[in-house]
Structure 1
Amino acid sequence: MQTQPITNTNGLLININDNGRKAIFIICIAFCISPFASPAIALLLGLVIAQFTGHPYLHLNHKATHLLLQVSVVGLGFGMNVHSAMQAGKESILFTIASISGTLIFGYFMGRWLNIEKKTSFLISSGTAICGGSAIAAISPVIKAEEKQISVALGCVFVLNSVALFIFPLIGHHLNMSQTQFGLWCAIAIHDTSSVIGAASKYGPHALEVATTVKLARALWIIPVTFMATYLFKNQSKKVSIPYFIGLFILAMIANTYIPAISIVSPYLTGIAKAGLTLTLFLIGAGLSRKVLASVGFKPLLQGVVLWIVISTAALYAVMHLA
């Protein structure tokens, strides 16, 4: 007779007191900022924590991941060169415009076909098209999305981010993609900035530079898409959230390129930034509880998966044959 795992009232697979949960969580954080942890391992460890012992500081998780991601991205700017970044940005502009507009249009019609609630569908499409959780967080107050709609969209995006972090490097190596090709593909086809950087950093330093630059350029599209959302959902009262940390990233990149003293300490700053991003992925994984996963539902998840497969496949073809 097969036994079932014992769960407590919160749906966790291990029943442990609060102090024990906090101790385990702190040990995991220490491991994630050590040289032994990779982005993929940190994300997987977070998922394990979410299912088995639970996140003891879940109420702080969203703010922590948001701030940590922004600080870490700025830190990565100290390891990049302005001229290389500008070249990567020029090469990706047509891919960016085509992929964002195509994803939003296809997502709209797919949402209607599946009869998904309009705001949920738009949040999933926007998160897929631009930059995952950041786009959802910026657009949701403008369209007056409810907590349930936001949770569904975020859950869908973060689940697919987790999958991408593991399979994209495998596909890239199998197809013998160059670092430039892989970095561009990651930036277009992976939703969240943290997962883009995590996947690209496993592939190589130039892939990381291309992916970060192109992804942050895409993130600026939050602004016009948010303005478009105010028109579509007829809400003129909300302010548009501008991602100011991108400006700090550009300043860090300029400082690294033109100030010799900065280039001396830049390896240490980028090392800290990469550890911060690894920790960010752990926190994202730790926030994907059973409740979050169960809240997504079949139709929104189907929309997210199909959108992601279409944009990933189209971007892969374009990068391999046109870039």
Structure 2
Amino acid sequence: WLFMVGIGLLSNLASQSITVGTRHPLESVTIAIVIGLFLGNLLPFPRFLQPGIMNYEMALKAGIVLLGIGLSFFAVLEIGAKASSVVVLCLVIAPLIIFFIGRKAGLSEKMTLLIGVGTTICGTTAIAVTAPVIEAEGDDVSYAVGTISLVGIAAMFTLPIVARLFGLNESVFGLWAGTAVHATPQVVAAGYMYGTVAGQVATVAKLTRNIFMAPAVFLIRLWHTRKTHHAASKKTRYWKAVPTFLFGFLALAVIRTLGDGTALIPASEWQWIVRNVNELGKFLVLIAMAGIGLNTRIKAMHRIGFKPFLVGVAGSVLLATISLGLIHLLGIS
């Protein structure tokens, strides 16, 4: 565990040292997996370290619960009805098409789901939250995180260029970036590269997307449980199959919303609590990602092939196209 904590601290430091303007678009979870991959494949670890390195799921589940504090349902009210419609429609249409493309390309259901949620909801955070819910293998998680990170960084630089060619104003670009770029740091960086207003709109749009992570993961878990038990010819009460940590995640999101909407705690103190609980959650997920990297074998990733990356690229282009099309269709300017 101390070894994984060390990788987490190193990843945070590396992430903060990589800047685009004043932003840090490369997520520390990506760096943690990469460091873990190299160390896990290059170094022979003593046997006494193995139990701690393999027991990363506890940190992941605890981190997921704490990340719920970062979601406030009031973000939907800030963005407006039309813009919210773009976000919701993208979250409904794009994952279904990505799942269809992934399955047609021969990817496993779990890999396709990881790429789908990473593309459409919240980048690597969505992958980290979804992985234990569908019992994904570490190899799939590592590959999906790498794919979504690379494609997200490419989108961060590409979308502003395309937007200038089309002559999009800052508000429209902010909504487009907020619905089409993957991870929150990448969205913020892309938005502020285009302008201050674009950065503000992109941030709110992305926060609105993030809100839907909780219901999306619940639905994915119920679908996965139903499919698994149906294949095994078993009967089950699906709500009992929902992991306890997901209820904790949702409970903290509700607490955050209530805290934002009431004055029970002074605003400055409440923001301090939210910020620190959220950071602790992120760090626990970071430790878990280091563990996944340490337990992943590059040979196994090589066997997965290049198709998941191509599906990730296709899904990202598709999401960007759907988003921009909806913005123009709804007359948002």
| Alignment TM-score, normalising by the size of structure 2 | 0.62
**Separation of aligned partners in 1, 2:132 and 2:242:** 9
- Counting only pairs closer than 5 Å after superposition, residues 170-319 of structure 1 correspond to structure 2 as 176-179=168-171, 182=174, 184-192=175-183, 196=187, 204-233=199-228, 234=230, 239-241=241-243, 242=246, 244-259=248-263, 261-265=265-269, 268=272, 291=298, 294=302, 296-319=304-327
Q: Within the alignment, does 1:125 sit opposite 2:133 as a pair?
A: no
Q: Report deviation, 1:304.
A: 1.7
Query: Is the 1:181–1:320 Cα contact (8 Å) retained in structure 2?
Result: no
* Gapped regions of structure 1 (runs ≥ 5): 1-17
Q: Report deviation, 1:298.
A: 1.0
Residue in structure 2 matched with residue 39 of structure 1 by the alignment: 24
Query: Is the 2:27–2:185 Cα contact (8 Å) retained in structure 1?
Result: no
Q: Within the alignment, does 1:114 sit opposite 2:105 as a pair?
A: yes
What's the secondary structure of 1:116's corresponding residue? coil
Q: Deviations over 1:142-162 (max 9, x none)?
A: 666555444444443344344
Q: Report deviation, 1:318.
A: 1.9
What is the aligned residue count?
Answer: 299
What's the secondary structure of 2:242's corresponding residue? coil
Distance 1:275 1:164, change over 3 A: farther
Q: Which amino acid aligns with 1:178?
A: E
Q: Report deviation, 1:50.
A: 2.8
Q: Report deviation, 1:260.
A: 7.5
Q: Report deviation, 1:311.
A: 1.1
* Gapped regions of structure 2 (runs ≥ 5): 44-51
Q: Report deviation, 1:207.
A: 3.3
Pick which of 215-224 and 134-143 moved more: 134-143
| Alignment TM-score, normalising by the size of structure 1 | 0.63
**Separation of aligned partners in 1, 2:203 and 2:276:** 15
Aligned-pair identity in percent equals 19
What's the secondary structure of 1:115's corresponding residue? coil
RMSD (Å), alpha carbons: 5.0
Report the structure, 1 or 2, having the larger helix content.
2
